[in-house]
Amino acid sequence: MTQVKLAETSIFAAMDGVSQGKVNNVLGQIRKAIPERKAYELENRTDGLSKDFENVAALDDATFARFCAAVGINPGAYINSPAMTPEDFEKRSGIPAEAKTGNQKGYKKTLEAAHYFAHGSRLENVLKTFVACSILAAQYHLVIPRDVCERFLNSIPLNHVSEELAETLDKYRAKHMTGGAPTQTSQCTLQLATMRAAQVIRNGRRKDFALDLDSVVTESFAQRFGLMPQLEKARKNRAEMLAAGVE
């Protein structure tokens, strides 16, 4: 994927514009939330604290705090969501309860995204692949079915999609992955929803996925990946589909 300079991305400008005072305020919220989550885990686990808790502790990070402030993530609700009712989560976070997640490994994706946008540091290939494929698929779907999302991360043939979409995705899919697609798909969709870059949409027992094409995070991924023409096409097509009453 062709990448642009950090300063040319929308989220870099948004993060750069957050005052140090605001960053310090959000850091204070994070440092209050982490011990609360630790106490919750110890109270509700019979085998002690998970080794994955290191991903929660790692959120005590100034760049993550700056990202939260720029995007609008409430760190208290994000970190302590397992202890919250769906109603309380929605009230505190400002996002639908379908995006509620306490997966400790998943937190690493959002932390890495913050550093990726601020410093150009490493972003795991799974999230890169998932976002790139989502941008491409959004040219054809308002809502991307869960089974299609999982096929971004394996070599199983794409069913129930157009030949054009299948050909478009073929270049970007992580076809080398032989397992873990359901778990990684859940982590990607829920973390992107937390970043206000997507929506997780309940469809019976499964959760489908809709990329927010106007999100500063989505746009910044597209800028970094060299996929702005595809994002613009997706925006145009979405507007036409909505005008036509397509659901």
pLDDT at residue 48 is higher than 70: yes
Q: Given this model, what pLDDT does residue 158 score?
A: 80
Q: Is the pLDDT of residue 3 over 80?
A: no
- Rg of the chain, C-alpha, whole Å: 18
111/206: higher pLDDT: 111
Give residue-wise pLDDT tens across range 154-194. Answer: 888 887 788 888 888 888 898 888 788 999 999 999 999 99
- Whether the pLDDT of residue 1 is over 60: the answer is no
Give me the mean pLDDT over the 76-83 stretch: 97
What pLDDT does residue 9 have?
85
Residues 6+ apart with CB under 8 A from 65: 23, 24, 26, 27, 30, 75
The full set of domain ranges for the chain reads 6-243
Instruction: Please name the residues in contact with 36: beta carbons below 8 A apart, sequence gap of 6 or more.
Output: 79, 80, 83
Tell me the C-alpha distance between 200 and 193, whole Å: 7
Over 70: is that where the pLDDT of 110 sits? yes
Cα angle vertex 217, ends 139, 123, to 5°?
A: 100
Task: State how far the Cα of 131 lies from the Cα of 123, in Å rounded to an integer.
Answer: 11
Q: Which residues contact 55 (CB under 8 A, 6 or more apart)?
A: 104, 105, 106, 107, 108, 111
Reported residue count of the chain is 247
Phi, psi of 195 (to 5 degrees): -75, 5
pLDDT tens profile 192-235: 999 999 999 998 888 999 999 999 999 999 999 999 999 999 99
Please list the helix, strand and coil fractions of the chain in percent, rounded to the nearest 5, in that order: 60, 5, 35
Q: What is the pTM (predicted TM-score) of this model?
A: 0.92
- The string of pLDDT tens digits covering residues 20-45 is 999 999 999 999 999 999 999 999 98
